Amino acid sequence: MSWTLDETDGNKQIPHWDMVLNEFKQIQGKKGTLTLDILNSGDNSAEMLQVRTENGYYLITLGEIVEDEYQVRTYWDSSKPEVIPPFLTEAISRIRSCVEYAALA
């Protein structure tokens, strides 16, 4: 498990779920991330789960291997579509840059 909060970060092995919940409570309502890396995952399974929060918005990212390819799924609360959280704007810009670069190739 790794985390960032208020310009500090860290990582540690977690022996039980209560530690994950405790770290999640630390980032709730603040700007931070909580990342769980799954060790010893199988060929077709999740490898990483990340929760990112900023200004009351949450973004959940799941990285997994599907048919020998690493895929990333992203989930967020779209109930307030008129406001795009800053971290989504950043992610959209990166995706757009990748698409524009691919068009040049």
SS3 87: helix
CA pair distance 53, 33, nearest whole angstrom: 6
The gap from C-alpha 96 to its chain's centroid, in whole angstroms, comes to 18
How confident is the model over 6-55, as pLDDT tens digits?
778 888 887 688 888 888 888 888 888 888 887 665 666 677 888 888 87
CA pair distance 54, 27, nearest whole angstrom: 9
Q: What is the pTM of this model?
A: 0.65
CA pair distance 44, 82, nearest whole angstrom: 36
SS3 67: coil
> How much is the average pLDDT of 61-87?
73
CA pair distance 43, 65, nearest whole angstrom: 7
Under the banding of pLDDT at 50, 70 and 90, the label for residue 70 is confident
Residue 100 in this model has a pLDDT that exceeds 70: no
Say what the pLDDT of residue 81 is: 62
Pairing outcome for strands 46-54 and 32-37: antiparallel
Q: List 28's β-bridge partners, or say none.
A: none
Under the banding of pLDDT at 50, 70 and 90, the label for residue 85 is low
